[in-house]
Structures are given as C-alpha cells and as structure tokens.
Structure 1
Amino acid sequence: MKILYIIILTCLLIPATYSQDDKSQVLILGTSHLDNIEGFEVSMLDKVIAKLDSFNFDIIGIEKMSGELLNDIKSRNDHAFDGITKGGFGVRYLEIADTIRINRQVTFLDAEKFIQELLSKEKLDSKDHKQLIFNYLAITDLPSAVLQYAMIEDKSTFTTEFEKYLAGILEREMTSKNEYYSLAMQLAIKEKLNRLDPIDNFQDESLLFKYYPNFMEDFKANAELFSGINELPVFQKVNELTESSIKSGDFYNLYSFLNSTEYKNGDFNAQWKIWLETDFKSGSDKARYYLWEMRNLNIAANILNLVARNPNKKILIIIGASHTGFLEKYLMQVENIELLKFE
C-alpha cells in the first residue's frame, strides 16, 4: 500500500509535458453561409479545398445538431423549441429518421452500433455504403448519408420504391450549394472520410424567446441602435470580397479574410459587443449575448467530445464565421490542443 502511494505521488509531482505528436490539432474554419450568396458555384472553392486538403484532416465537423440532441429536444414536447423540431434546424432530419426507423425496423441505438461496425472495416464496398446511408439517416445524419451516396458510382443499386425515394432526397441534397456539400463533402471525399460530424447546438434563440417572449418588441423599440451595423467597415469588406470572389470565380481571398484577426475582432465589436452596451429594461439584450456565448460553449464542448473520441487527430470544424473567435477563445485554454490556422 505504501509503495502504491509513492507511485501515485511521484506521478503527480512529474510535470506534464506534451510532445507535438500527442496533441490534438483543431482548425476552426469560418465560412459565409454559401446558400445565401447569389451566383455561387462549387468550383469557386477549389483553392480553399486544396488548401484544406494540404492539412490531411482526419475528422470534419459541421454546423448541424446531433441526432441525440434533436431527439432529446423532440421528446420534451416543449413548444418553445418548435423552431428546431418543426423548423429548418431539425424537422426534415427527424422526419426522415422516423421513416427509416419504421421502414427498416431499427432503433437509434441499433443504427449507431451498426455504423460503428461498418466504419471499423478496412475497406467499404457499395453494399456497405448503402447500409451506412440507411443507418446515418436513422440517426438524423443526412449530410453523412449524402457523403456515402456520393461514393456509390452505380446508383442503380437503389432498386425498391423506398430506396428510389431516398435516392431522390439524397440527389437533391447533394446538389445543394452550401457548406455541407460544396465544401465539407468535397473535402471529405478527397480525404477518404466516411462521415461529417455534427457539432452545433441551436437552442440559444429558442431559450431567448422562452425567457423573453417580448424580445422582438424590445429590439424594434431600439432598432436605431443597430441600424448602421451593416455599413461598418468589416461587413463592407466582406461584401466587397464576396462580389469580387463571384467575379473572379475564386473564394480564397474571402475565406482568408473571414478567418483573419481583423474580421474576428471587427465582427465581435459590431454585432456582439453591442448587446452589452444597450440597456433594454427587460434585460433581453444581455440575455441575447449570454445565450450566444452559451451556444458557442456548447459547440466547444461538442468539439472536445470529438477530440476525446479521436485523440491525436487533426480535426476541421466548418462553421459560420461569427463563431470562430469565440470557439478559439475557449479551445486555446484547453491543455494539449493545438489550434491550427487557415493562413
């Protein structure tokens, strides 16, 4: 017993040292929401993807909520969260998942287990990709299902009416011009990755309206305080770079700016710090800021969950550029994590 005590004490007294190989590396890539940009084409990201490909990432996380969280929120039956479960953040994922689980008689946990078994194989064939599609859909992971669909060269393997119905959904998703499919999926195919991990948590606005149902009235009553935000230099520069990127057919300079210190500081001062300088009588302005911090803390926790499950790996997180400075602020405080930079 005395020997064991000495061993434990010795271990505690040895200073922690980490080699470069021990560290988990994380790059938080800030992005514009590409589906909002008129004239955007996937080819405009070629140089951005080539740059990201040079890092050789092992994991790619995207701005989506996990199936566990979506199903948890749905099970609460709290109408304050209808914007998630009945709106764009979650409704289609949940509906497709319910359809799959009924049609294929599979539970959420069964699907998760089957995914892990398939991903443990050294090489996947078309049948494996097809099974991954069904099981990813069963846990609401539509982006990963689309990634698997893109890897199947012979789409004629979808033979039944139900399979053809799913293939139609996947085809439409695959041609969507957004960060999931124009950026994350294209890179995942290059890196031979088999999933796009969800890392977001969209509960902040639902909680804001639950706690402060009159928030919009507060905001409209103070609208003049926010009227000039879009004219600030940081956002004018984003607009100019977006226009020039469309004309040149290359989004590299836009992404360089969105991931610069200049943008992160300017964005924070323009659209987040302002909530701490206003004075709504209800306090909903401060709540807006605190819940935004909460959302980013939840995202950081989800990233650390990824790190815990994938130690010593390179992880790319693709997320709206307004999140980047917050996430880096939290993650730089975590021992043994190295934050990578796009530039």
Structure 2
Amino acid sequence: MKRKFKCIVFLICLVPFIAKSQSNKTQILILGTPHLQQIDGVEAPMLDKVITKLDSFDFDVICIEKMSGELLYDIQSRQDSAFDGITKGRFGAEFLSLADTVQAINGVAFLEAKKNVLKQVSEEKLTINERKELLFNLLATTDLPSAALQYEYINNKTVFATDFEKYIANIIEKKIASQNEYYSLAASLAKRENINQLESIDNLQDEALLFMYYPDFVQEYKDQDGPLDQINELPVYQKINQLSQEGVQANDLSNLYAFFNSNEYKQQDYSGQWEIWLKTNFPSGADRARYALWEMRNLQITANIMNVVARYPERKILVIIGASHGAFIEKYLEQVEHLEVLKYN
C-alpha cells in the first residue's frame, strides 16, 4: 500500500511536466502573398510594415514557394518533355543552369554541396569567407534565394574578387533588386531573424500533369461559355487591384497583405477561382482534374512543410506563399496533431 501511494505521488508531481511537454507545439503561420513582380510600381520599402509585423512573431524558420534542388533535378532526370515548362521555364531553368555552372567551376557535386550546406547553416557565427563559401554551396543546390540572403550578410563585397565571383555577385544583385517576394520579403525578414537559409517547399507539377492527361484542356476552356470568363470581374479581385494601387501610392502594402490573409479573401477566392471548376462541365472532365491537381499540389506542399516540421520540432515556422494556397494548406495543417496554425491578422 505504501509503495502504491508513492507511485501516485510521483505521477501527480509528473503531471505538470507532461502537460508542459504536450503544450510545446510547433507553430506555423501561412502568409498569403501577392506575386510582387505582378504589381506595377512595387518597391521594397512598401513591405516595411509587413516585415516589422512578421518580425514580432520571432520566427525560427522561413519557407518559400520554390521547388527544392532534389525535386528539380529529379524532374530533369526523367527527360520527359511534359515537364519542360518547369525545367526549361521560369520555375526551374535559371536555378538549374546556375547550379550546374557553380558545380562545374567550383568542382563540387550536388550532394557534396548539400552536405556542406547542412553543416554550415548550423553554425552560430560565420566569417565573411565562410559565408561566401556557403553562398556558392547554396547556388550549387539551386538555392539562389538563400545565396542572396548570404550575400546580404556580407558587408565587404570585395571578397568577390575573381571574374566568376563578380559574375555571380552581379546576378544576385539583380535578383535582390527584382522585387520578388523571395528577396524583398523572405530574405529581408530572415536577415532580421538571423536565419541562414530559406526552406523550399513548393511542388509545381500540377499543370504539367494536367496537360499530359488532358492535352485539349486549353481548347475546352476556350469553348466553354460560362462563369470562367468572368472570374477577373469578381469583387474579390477588383478589391485586390484597388488595394494594390492604393498600396503603391501610399508606399505601404500592409492593407493588401491584411486582405490576402483574411477569411473574407480566403472564402471568396475559393468560391471564385477553385470551387467553380466543380460547377463547369467540360466533356473530358478536365475541369474536375484541374481542381483535383490543385488539391494535389497543395497536399504536396503541405507534405514538404511537414518535412520542415520534422527537422524543426517545437519551433516557429513561417511559410510565405501565393495567397490562393493559404486556405488549402491551413485546412490540412489544422488536422495535424501537435501543430498550432497561427494567424497573421
């Protein structure tokens, strides 16, 4: 009896520690963003208030809408022309070409560069030369956005001394000036948070598969006579245009970001841009496939986010991604145990 009493006392004492352990959830914020290059007149200072607000969350990890080097090289290795839009288009060609060049000039293979990156990004303090070495290893793994982040950390740009290094520095400077959310938003915030690498979580194979399965999709789209033609005229997209113009004029896009991350936008965007595919009637069923493959892409993105969660348990993670993905990804993540989905607004 005495032994049993001791066990009960022990368990009672242990309960607060168990409760504390169970409350340490990994926290994730899905930040819906416009694709900044599509906004006329956008400049980096227009994001200052957005970055300041995000900085208050004190994130440990930042993810971006880019495909990983492993996935890009995997798709390229298939030698399937159906995926040329990725490997030879704007979503992959630049990253792969630059990675191949760095691998050849610096004599480093993809896997070796990746191994180096994993070791280097974990270092608390890096010298200028160590950051330059990390920058080139990141480029060799197709991670141009993280290389640009490292470039921003390097105050003395004279370390880029050779013709090749100056060539790379010039490419990175052009990217930083391009007003892309990789650089203007994600990298700028990462530097504030003293983060060394941006995590790539996209998987952009949905459209390639759609055209592979349904080569007449575009023609069927043109032949349909219905609500698809009126999507851009819907109030939700008119409001986005208005907030974009007002934000540029006011030199502040914070209201636009607040709207993109509101329940109002998420509900109206779903009805206007995605649910509609379930209400059309393409003869081939390609409209249903368009919706199914969009869900597939978001599930794949979520799986990649969970890969990040596995490597950073009980941390605070930011995912910066096109706003139309937000509601889908949140829907999946909210079903996962030991995760807390944060809200921007």
Task: Indicate conservation of the 8 Å contact 1:18/1:336, yes or no.
Answer: no
Corresponding residue of 2:97:
95
Q: Which amino acid in structure 1 is aligned with residue 343 of structure 2?
A: K
CA distance, structure 2, for counterparts of residue 20 and residue 323 of structure 1: 29
Among 109, 117, 120, the alignment partner of 1:118 is 120
CA gap 1:245/1:163 in 2 versus in 1, 3 angstroms? same
- The answer as to whether partners of 1:64 and 1:200 remain within 8 angstroms in 2 is yes
* CA–CA distance in structure 2, aligned partners of residues 213 and 108 of structure 1: 34
Q: Which residue of the partner structure matches residue 275 of structure 2? A: 273
Q: Where does residue 142 of structure 1 map in the other structure?
A: 144
**One-letter code of the match for 1:142?**
L
- C-alpha displacement of 1:218: 0.6
Amino acid at match of 2:65: E
Tell me, what secondary structure is at the counterpart of 1:281? Answer: coil
Check whether the contact 1:184–1:318 (CA below 8 A) recurs between aligned residues.
yes
Gaps of 5+ in 1: 1-13
| Residue of 156, 172, 175 corresponding to 1:173 | 175
Q: SS of the counterpart of 2:229?
A: coil
* Equivalence map 1:13-52=2 (5 Å): 19=21, 21-52=23-54
CA deviations 1:297-335 (Å, max 9, x no partner) are 000000000000011110000000000000000000000
2:11 is aligned to none
How do residues 1-343 of structure 1 correspond to structure 2 at under 5 angstroms?
19=21, 21-222=23-224, 224-343=226-345
Q: Is the Cα–Cα contact under 8 Å of residues 234 and 266 in structure 1 kept in the other structure?
A: yes
Match of 1:334, as an amino acid? Answer: V
Classify 1:35/1:122 alpha carbon distance in 2 versus 1 (closer, same or farther; 3 Å). Answer: same
Q: Cα offset for 1:249?
A: 1.2
Indicate the SS of the match to 2:319.
Answer: strand
Shift of 1:39: 1.1
Q: How many angstroms does 1:122 deviate by?
A: 2.2
Amino acid in structure 2 at the alignment position of 1:286 = R
Please give the alpha-carbon distance, in whole angstroms, between the structure 1 residues aligned to 2:232 and 2:276.
Answer: 13
TM-fit CA distance, 1:237: 1.4
CA offsets, 1:76-95, max 9 Å, x none?
A: 00000000000000001000
| d(CA) in 1 for partners of 2:20, 2:278 | 39
1:38 is paired with a residue of what secondary structure? coil
Letter in 2 for 1:244: E
CA distance in 1, matches of 2:124, 2:252: 36
- Give yes or no for contact 1:73–1:85 (8 Å, CA) kept in 2: yes
Which amino acid in 2 is paired with 1:222? Q
Q: CA deviation at 1:112?
A: 1.0
Alignment-mate amino acid for residue 109 of structure 1: L
Deviation of residue 224 (structure 1)? 3.8
1:105 Cα offset (Å): 1.4
CA-to-aligned-CA distance 1:100-152 (integer Å, 9 cap, x gap): 11111111111111112212322111011101111001110000001001111
Q: Is the 8 A contact 2:121 2:197 kept in 1?
A: no
8 Å contact kept, 1:275–1:288: yes
CA contact (8 A) 1:49 1:183 kept: yes
8 Å CA contact 1:21–1:312 kept in 2: the answer is no
8 Å contact 2:247–2:255 — kept in the other structure?
yes
Instruction: Write the distance in 2 (CA, Å) between the matches of 1:233 and 1:193.
Output: 39
Aligned-residue CA RMSD in angstroms? 1.4
Judged with a 3 Å threshold, the aligned counterparts in structure 2 of structure 1 residues 18 and 78 are, in CA distance, closer, same or farther, namely farther
Separation of aligned partners in 2, 1:223 and 1:293: 25
C-alpha separation in 2, matches of 1:137 and 1:21: 38
Distance in 1 (CA, whole Å) between partners of 2:272 and 2:22 is 37
Which whole-Å CA distance do the structure 1 matches of 2:80 and 2:230 have between them? 36
Contact 1:115–1:135 (8 Å) recurs in 2: yes
**Deviation of 1:21 (Å):** 5.0
CA drift at 1:240: 1.4
In structure 1, C-alpha distance between the alignment counterparts of 2:232 and 2:21, rounded to whole Å: 45
CA contact (8 A) 1:40 1:246 kept: yes
Query: 1:51 corresponds to which letter in structure 2?
Result: K
Please list the CA deviations of residues 163-191 of structure 1 after superposition, one character each: whole Å capped at 9, or x if unmatched. 11111111111111011111111101110
Deviation at 1:199, TM superposition (A): 0.5
Structure 2, unaligned stretches of length 5 or more?
1-14
